[in-house]
Amino acid sequence: MQLDSSIRLFGRAKSLLCGGVCSPVRAISPHPFYTARAEGPYLWDSDGNRYTDYCLAYGPMILGHRHPAVMQAAIDQMSRGWLFGTPSELEVSAAERISRLYPSMEMLRFVSSGSEATMAAIRVARGATGRDMIIKIEGGFHGAHDSVLVKAGSGATTLGIPDSKGVPADTAKNTLQVPYNDLPALERVLESFPDKIACMIMEPVLGNVGPVLPEEGYLQKVRRLTEEHGVLLIFDEVITGFRLALGGAQELFGIKPDLTTLGKIIGGGFPVGIFGGRRDLMEQVAPGGAIYQAGTFNGSPVPLACGMATLDVMEREHVLEGLARSGERMRRGLMDIVQDRGLSYSVVGIASMFKLFFGSEPHDYEQALKCDKAGYFALFRHMLEKGVFLTPSQYETDFISAAHSPETIDATLEAFSSCLKD
């Protein structure tokens, strides 16, 4: 596989872009490939190589790349204007539709990214409760803002320490962490800091670790415990929203959080974020209340138009039903390969999410860290040479789009079969 153009581009990028990339996950060793175009389930790099894409921009492209209905929605909206700085009917219609799909979101606000959404939701929780502390799940990713860039402590009740330089220790100390799927740890934290914790923010399915799935009854008990202790529950559904069900993980598992954050899919491939929840909480957001949030690109019309077009297709074509079959086909095929070769690997996933773990199925962050990171990356490189683009890290979820046909998945399984050794 020739990568001369990508190598040259990376050489130019390193002198101007931090690490040669615009996001750390794109810093693929020894160099990334540079995408020139995309269509359906495929990417083409600047050297003309084609890749079957299971990264899908880390989740947003649920219909595949350049879906004609989404493209047309962007064109139609741009013909009318793409940024107004005023309210528009589109944001009202979009809000009505999202609230119907997510009944827990009685009021909401559009922002420009998932990170913005989680930052704002935490601010609402703190402002509404008058408390400063928050709980997050070890290994849960909620964007790149200070409150959530925190390492796991040595114990469930240990105060957090910054996971990045530039994050003040005084900020990190207000972030408590508990392992996923560990209810006793959550109980200890809640009991140790009475009347001090504003909220618990969590991904219902840990997406940035693999995925890691909730054990039976876990989410329901988290809901009960947070309610008992007067702690607001925030579901970060930036990944799971519109993918596990149109109403997200909260629909699938039957949980009603106090606040929800959305992003990725609902922008149709354009930058977007949403935070919302109980009316009594959201009414406290400016201008109605004293919790401030603002943004030049809030409610930007092109992302909303493309998000609504994406939902139209998903509902009309019953996309999630097909994706469930595709996900099962991929996971079953991978498991067959693993078992046939007697490998001590595990295949994990839900709906259209999947991951091959180089180790036992993890149930929390610490267990995920025990998987063979180097072994997985070697597989990633081999698959890339076969024209298959998986997420580069052992600790990131792979996604399937509506554009991945059964034949495409079967070809991918053939690549896995040739790359996985006894």
Residue 317 has pLDDT above 80, yes or no: yes
167 vs 412: which has the higher pLDDT? 412
245 with 132, same domain: the answer is: yes
Whether residue 154 is predicted with pLDDT greater than 60 in this model: the reply is no
**Count of beta carbons in the 10 Å neighbourhood of residue 261:** 32
Question: Which H/E stretch holds residue 274?
Answer: strand 273-277
62 in a domain, yes or no?
no
Residue 81 belongs to some domain of the structure: yes
* 305 compared with 167, residue with greater pLDDT: 305
Helix axes 319-340, 406-419, angle to 10 degrees: 20
Percent of the chain with pLDDT over 70: 97
Q: What is the pLDDT of residue 167?
A: 82
Would the pLDDT of 155 be above 50?
no
pLDDT digits (tens, 9 = 90+) for 111-147: 999 999 999 999 999 999 999 999 999 999 898 888 8
Instruction: Indicate if 311 and 348 belong to the same structural domain.
Output: no
Is 217 found in the same domain as 205? yes
Query: In this predicted model, what pLDDT tens digit does every residue of 166-220 receive, in sequence order?
Result: 888 888 889 999 999 999 999 999 999 999 999 999 999 999 888 999 999 999 9
Same domain for 306 and 381? no
Residue 59 placed within a domain: no
Query: Do 379 and 407 reside in the same domain of the chain?
Result: yes
pLDDT score of 89 more than 50? yes
For residues 128 and 213, membership in a common domain is answered with yes
Q: What is the pLDDT of residue 46?
A: 97
Residue 96 is predicted with a pLDDT of 98
Q: Is residue 61 part of a domain?
A: no
Predicted pLDDT of residue 294: 96
Is 60 contained in some domain? no
Could you tell me if 294 and 332 lie in one domain?
no
Q: Does residue 63 belong to any structural domain of this protein?
A: no
Q: Mean of the per-residue pLDDT values for the chain?
A: 94
- Asked if residue 237 is part of any domain, the answer here is yes
Q: What one-character DSSP code corresponds to residue 362?
A: P
Query: CATH number of the domain that 407 lies in?
Result: 3.90.1150.10
What pLDDT sits at residue 145? Answer: 87
Q: How far apart are CA 393 and CA 209, in angstroms?
A: 9
Same-domain pairing of 308 and 333 = no
pLDDT tens sequence across 45-79: 999 999 999 999 999 999 999 999 999 999 999 99
Domain shared by 306 and 384, yes or no? no
Q: Name the token pair of 20.
A: 């040669």
Do 286 and 292 touch, CB atoms closer than 8 A? yes
Number of folded domains in the chain? 2
pTM of the shown model: 0.95
DSSP single-letter state for residue 48: S
Residue 164: per-residue pLDDT: 75
Binned at pLDDT 50, 70 and 90, residue 161 comes out as low
Listing DSSP states for 247-258 in one string gives THHHHHHT---S
Least confident piece of the model among 89-93, 95-99, 143-147: 143-147
- β-partners of residue 53 are 389
Q: How far apart are CA 201 and CA 150, in angstroms?
A: 13
Do 261 and 349 fall into the same domain? no
Domain boundary among 315, 346, 371: 315
Same domain, 281 and 135: yes
Domain end position, chosen among 298, 315, 332: 315
CATH number of the domain residue 215 falls in? 3.40.640.10
pLDDT in tens, 225-238: 999 999 999 999 99
What single string gives the DSSP state of each residue in 214-270?
Answer: PPTTHHHHHHHHHHHTT-EEEEE-TTTBTTTBTTHHHHHHT---SEEEEEGGGGTTS
Q: Is the distance from CB of 316 to CB of 339 less than 8 angstroms?
A: no
Alpha-carbon distance of 195 to 210, in angstroms, equals: 33
Structural domain of 232: 68-315
| 371, 358 contact by CB (below 8 A) | yes
Average pLDDT score over residue span 340-353: 97
Residue 37 falls inside a structural domain: yes
pLDDT tens-digit profile of 14-48?
999 999 999 888 989 899 999 999 999 999 999 99
pLDDT at 422: 56
Claim to verify: residue 354 and residue 382 sit in the same structural domain: yes
| Mean pLDDT across 366-386 | 95
**Which tokens belong to 61?**
């492209």
Residue 291, pLDDT > 90, answer yes
Cis peptide before 211 (omega within 30 of 0): yes
Q: Are 34 and 27 in contact (CB under 8 A)?
A: no
Residue 168: what pLDDT? 82
Give the pLDDT band of residue 160 (cuts 50, 70, 90): very low
Q: Can you state the angle between helices 406-419 and 373-385, rounded to 10 degrees?
A: 120
Give alpha helix (H) positions in 283-318. Answer: 301-316
Lookup result for tokens 């070697």: 378
Peptide bond into 204 cis (omega under 30): no
What CA–CA distance (Å, rounded) separates 48 from 4? 11
274, 290, 315 - which closes a domain: 315
What pLDDT is recorded for position 162?
57
CA 352 to chain centre: 13
Q: CA neighbours within 13 Å on the CB side: how many for 291?
A: 19
